[in-house]
Amino acid sequence: MKKARLTTDELEISLRLQNIGNIKGVELAILEPNGQISTTLKPEKVPATKEDIYIILILFELVNIISIHHSMRRKRALILI
């Protein structure tokens, strides 16, 4: 950063403008020739997409269906006993 004459405050401002609240979430930051800072977040810090959330909701529904199915099977088994 010294070579680029960039202060920590300037870096933090640039990150905040990119909605990055903590530098610990950044995997890679590049000072571009035009002076802008490009960043890549660590995989665990990348925001979830609508598709990611949809997949999770589908998985929860499947788990719920399986749970209901097993519960019904247990009730039937108790009735038969």
Which among 59, 24, 30 has a CA at the least distance from the CA of 44? 24
Task: Write down the pLDDT at residue 81.
Answer: 60
Residue ranges in the chain whose pLDDT is less than 50: none
pLDDT for position 43: 92
Indicate the residue type of 62: L
- Global pTM value: 0.57
Is the separation of the CB atoms in 17 and 34 below 8 Å?
Answer: no
CA distances, 79 to each of 72, 73, 74, 75 (Å):
11, 10, 9, 6
